[in-house]
Structure 1
């Protein structure tokens, strides 16, 4: 009798769990969440996970600002935009979603993401280049502009109103978040001069995922953690990453949700699941990004923790720049710069 009761109870529990199973839709960068963990999560909780990809932050921001983000349960968003959207009343507060044992993040990521997001990753922006193609030293942001002029149709710059302008500003020795009109004008002229020599205005990872072995990219703006994936996608194992001497912008990314999209049980389960200590380590090492989870920083492998691309040791207060809120006028000026660049092919 008892074995029958036990089996029946298990069957009822399984049926009950799947009755509450849901589809979890995540708006994210491609290849940014461990497939191993997604499969384990689906098996353990009965939820299904659907990932919808965006290629650049501007497209993502349009979706969030327009309210179309309500189609998704969670989305990846950078810390600066998250703060602006949260203060505008568009994002839900998530500080009470995680169980205490899973809420173990770095101070800087907590400061950036809280209260409207759950910290996910952080990193730098630098230059990626193929050592078999580039025989000169790369140690300045100006090197990417020089290489583009001397080697047309081989360089990729991002299609981003903040980062694209920031690269030119850094190359000229200016603060990447400056609002000085003269400095912005100089950055615009530099970008316009090189525009027609570029291979494309696009994220380097997006280009690599699209073109694969047909890639003509020899130098590009990379975000830390992308080098191995780009090398794999293009079958070019000579890619390397460097942070130029002028410094870099340091970014943080968070998981968030729209204020009018009630946080689902599937979302709560998922956020807790990926932030459990062992799972956080699997996610970080499988996807090879700098995790904001302290468990990863305490317990990951030596190969991961010693990776200079993920955890550069040469940056200091003079070369470590943070994103900050710009005036409407400065935002509009940068947006106009990018519009001209897009149309000037």
Structure 2
């Protein structure tokens, strides 16, 4: 991306934030009434009912529909890998990312089973790839020594995600899931989460794809060094992203913002996706109303991030794979909830007395 184009970035982000408004409470009330009229015990589908009610608020209609589904996978490399914080090298990112195109990844296989389309994006892989090219740079800088990216690049990453969400919304997609691929991105996510939640790095940092205890300690020390060196401003999500984040985090944050502006739900995957959701909520708090949660990642910071966002997981599967696999796993659940909501008879239709709320 040219210096001139980077200088013009920021307009789309500002315009997007202006479009994000509170959910439609009237639509939510209508959805609740429909659930209460269905011939089953009140609230007996629990969180599945809540998700549809929340979605009605997002879309402004109680005619909830999860028709066209998509997973957007942001793929990027992280310069902090130079510090020996990962079990594998940076070259793995490109190999796995291109496997999304052949269908030879966990997320690709799960998307096919769930009837969802997959859109992998090269937002900053360290070499050229066959993916959709939205590359901001060939990986970030090493945050242990300098800012991960410039502020302009951080905004550019966010706006890349916004454009992806807008494009898919215009093509008729009604729900989006977020995923990522990038060696070293649990390190950047832990740094971002530690700053935004004002928590000790040790509490926010796990083993990622698999580290020894010694390597985990090294990872924590690297994150602490980066945070102390750059002093990111926790009230400024863009500043945090630029100093200790990654292009994939920025891209996913943009998807959350873009989806909210288009009034469609966006699903949080695991820890890395949740860190991006936290970034998006720091930039625009109202975006939280347009987020759906999927599962509870094994990473130690996941529960704390969800609590900060006011969210609860639908699944507890002890997953830690990434790629968007947890987000895709709830697509069938949402479809089943929609089918019950639309197809099941009401108490009136089968001429029996409806359940009443017990005091």
TM-score range, shorter chain: under 0.3
More helix by share: 2
- The TM-score, its normalising length taken from structure 2, stands at 0.25
Between structure 1 and structure 2, the one with the greater Rg is 1
More strand by share: 1
